């Protein structure tokens, strides 16, 4: 009986156990890894990725996918950076632009992301284009739009820099005393978004519909659920998430180019999948998605910290993706 319980526990919490094991193994190599400062850095690194993963995660639950996430992050980064340069900076994107409120890029990025996501949702649910193809097309389109914007004179495809401090504070600022015990704004934002998405997925009608559609789209339709509406919503919501994440990336790094966010969608999808989101739909939790992101951040940061060749990180990441899914699938075969 007890062995069975242990097995069930391990099965259910496998990703969290993997996360703890990773930290233990790395800490065994170099105990300093466990310093508050390192853990704080890992959280900062993970913040935007968590927001992107939570956007893609909702889509994955509906049996969809979103390859345009990374390019949308890039577009939002460039957009926000172009509006948030200091007046003194020599190569301003808009030389005559007065100081605008920090809320302008925030609203704009979220809105632009939502609009692009809305189009994704319409193409997928109304035109019945497979999500992989629909968002592949959107990925290319968004990169094109971003590159055109980025190449406008006088900027002419130069990296956008000289960002205002009140803006970069979103990515680098903190509350509390300076030092390891300060709490970065960006982590607070990611935490707030996580709570918001958790409530959305678990406590609202539309969240319930999300899981029902992913679990059996035909049954959902027969049950009188507005499948098209829910799908459009989830892509739109994800787009808004990418918009926010892009803005935070610009703030965190203090600049932007049109290549920002490149391939972030793959990291986000991998994190979700490792976090127990089923690509065949209907299954996935918010804590799982967050844990998935943290696992990859710990690998990135931790293995570098103990001096492992960075190319080994790639191999470890790849192995974790494949085995996480194999493990997940085995779990369901056992049930049958």
Partner 1 sequence: MTENQDTGTAQTYLLEMRNITKTFPGVRALDDVTFRVRPGTVHALMGENGAGKSTLMKCLFGLYSPDAGEIYLDGQRVHLNSPKQALDHGISMIHQELHPVPHRSVMENIWLGRFPQVKIGPLSFVDHKKMFEDTQRLMEELQMDIHPAIRAGELSVSKIQSMEIAKAVSYNSKIIIMDEPTSSLTEREVEHLFRIIRELRQRGVSIIYISHKIEEILQIADEVSIMRDGKYVGCWPASELTNDLIISRMVGRELTHRFPEKTNQPGEVLMRVEGLTSPLPNSFRDVSFDLRRGEILGIGGLVGAQRTELVEAIFGLRAVERGTIFINGQPVSIHSPIDAKRHKVALLTEERRVTGIIPVLSVFDNTVVANLRHYSTSLGFVDAQRCRQDVADSIDKLRIKTPSMRTLIANLSGGNQQKVLLARWLLTEPDILILDEPTRGIDVGAKYEIYTLMLELAARGKAVLMISSEMPELLGVSDRIMVMCSGRVTGILPREEADQEKVMRLATQFL
Burial 74-107 (b: 16+ CB within 10 A, else e): bbbbbbbbbbbbeeeeeebbeeeeeeeebeebbe
Residues 99-118 that bind partner 1 (CB under 8 A): none
Q: Output 149 or 327, the one with its CB closest to partner 1.
A: 327
Q: Output 206 or 306, the one with its CB closest to partner 1.
A: 206
Rounded to whole angstroms, how far apart are CA atoms 125 and 131? 9
| Least distance CB 244 / partner 1 (angstroms) | 21
Q: Do 276 and 288 meet the contact criterion of CB atoms below 8 Å apart?
A: yes
Rounded to whole angstroms, how far apart are CA atoms 206 and 230? 7
Q: Output 215 or 254, the one with its CB closest to partner 1.
A: 215
| Least distance CB 215 / partner 1 (angstroms) | 4
- Of 50-58, 276-284, 286-294, 302-310, which segment contacts partner 1 by CB under 8 A? 276-284
Does residue 266 have a cis bond before it (omega within 30 degrees)? no
In terms of Cα–Cα distance, which of 232, 246, 241 is closest to 118? 232
Residues 168-207 that bind partner 1 (CB under 8 A): 203-207
Q: Is 233 in the site for partner 1 (CB under 8 A)?
A: no
Rounded to whole angstroms, how far apart are CA atoms 57 and 271? 9
Instruction: Convert residues 305-334 into a mask of x (bound to partner 1 by CB under 8 A) and - (unbound).
Output: ------------------------------
Q: Is 275 in the site for partner 1 (CB under 8 A)?
A: no
| Least distance CB 199 / partner 1 (angstroms) | 8
Rounded to whole angstroms, how far apart are CA atoms 296 and 285? 17
Instruction: Convert residues 50-89 into a mask of x (bound to partner 1 by CB under 8 A) and - (unbound).
Output: ----------------------------------------
Considering only 113, 276, 282, 302, the residue that binds partner 1 (CB under 8 A) is 282
| Least distance CB 238 / partner 1 (angstroms) | 18
Q: Is 225 in the site for partner 1 (CB under 8 A)?
A: yes
| Least distance CB 65 / partner 1 (angstroms) | 18
Q: Output 150 or 211, the one with its CB closest to partner 1.
A: 211
Q: Output 152 or 219, the one with its CB closest to partner 1.
A: 219
Determine the distance from the C-alpha atom of residue 263 to the mean position of all C-alpha atoms in its chain, rounded to a whole number: 11
- Partner residues linked to 174 by β-bridges: 184
Q: Do 277 and 283 meet the contact criterion of CB atoms below 8 Å apart?
A: yes
- Partner residues linked to 256 by β-bridges: 160
In terms of Cα–Cα distance, which of 224, 209, 195 is closest to 281? 209
Considering only 140, 192, 219, 326, the residue that binds partner 1 (CB under 8 A) is 219
- Partner residues linked to 163 by β-bridges: 85
Q: Enter the DSSP assignment of 271.
A: H
| Least distance CB 333 / partner 1 (angstroms) | 13
Structure-token match 């998430």, residue found? 241
**Chain residues in the site for partner 1 (CB under 8 A):** 203-209, 211-212, 214-216, 218-226, 278, 281-283, 335
């Amino acid at each position: 009986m007890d062995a069975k319980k242990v097995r069930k526990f391990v099965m259910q919490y496998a990703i969290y156990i993997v996360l703890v094991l990773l930290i233990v193994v790395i800490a065994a190599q170099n105990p300093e890894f466990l310093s508050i400062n390192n853990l704080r850095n890992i959280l900062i690194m993970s913040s935007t990725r968590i927001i992107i993963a939570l956007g893609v995660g909702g889509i994955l639950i509906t049996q969809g996918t979103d390859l345009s996430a990374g390019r949308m992050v890039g577009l939002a980064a460039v957009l926000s950076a172009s509006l948030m340069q200091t007046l003194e900076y020599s190569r301003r994107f808009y030389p005559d632009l007065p100081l605008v409120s920090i809320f302008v890029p925030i609203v704009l990025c979220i809105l632009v992301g939502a609009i692009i996501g809305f189009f994704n949702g319409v193409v997928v649910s109304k035109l019945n284009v497979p999500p992989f193809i629909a968002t592949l097309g959107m990925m290319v389109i968004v990169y094109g739009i971003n590159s055109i914007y980025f190449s406008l004179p006088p900027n002419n495809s130069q990296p956008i820099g000289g960002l205002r401090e009140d803006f970069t504070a979103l990515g680098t600022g903190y509350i509390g005393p300076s030092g390891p015990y300060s709490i970065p704004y960006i982590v607070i934002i990611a935490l707030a978004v996580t709570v918001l998405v958790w409530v959305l997925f678990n406590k609202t009608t539309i969240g319930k519909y999300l899981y029902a559609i992913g679990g059996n789209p035909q049954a959902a339709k027969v049950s009188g659920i507005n499948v098209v509406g829910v799908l459009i919503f989830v892509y739109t919501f994800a787009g808004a998430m990418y918009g926010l994440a892009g803005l935070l990336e610009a703030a965190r790094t203090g600049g932007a180019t049109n290549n920002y966010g490149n391939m972030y969608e793959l990291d986000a999808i991998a994190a979700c999948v490792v976090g127990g989101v089923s690509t065949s739909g209907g299954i996935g939790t918010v804590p799982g998605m967050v844990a998935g992101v943290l696992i990859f951040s710990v690998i990135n940061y931790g293995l570098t910290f103990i001096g492992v060749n960075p190319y080994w990180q790639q191999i470890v990441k790849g192995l974790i993706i494949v085995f996480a899914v194999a493990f997940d699938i085995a779990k369901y075969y056992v049930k049958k």
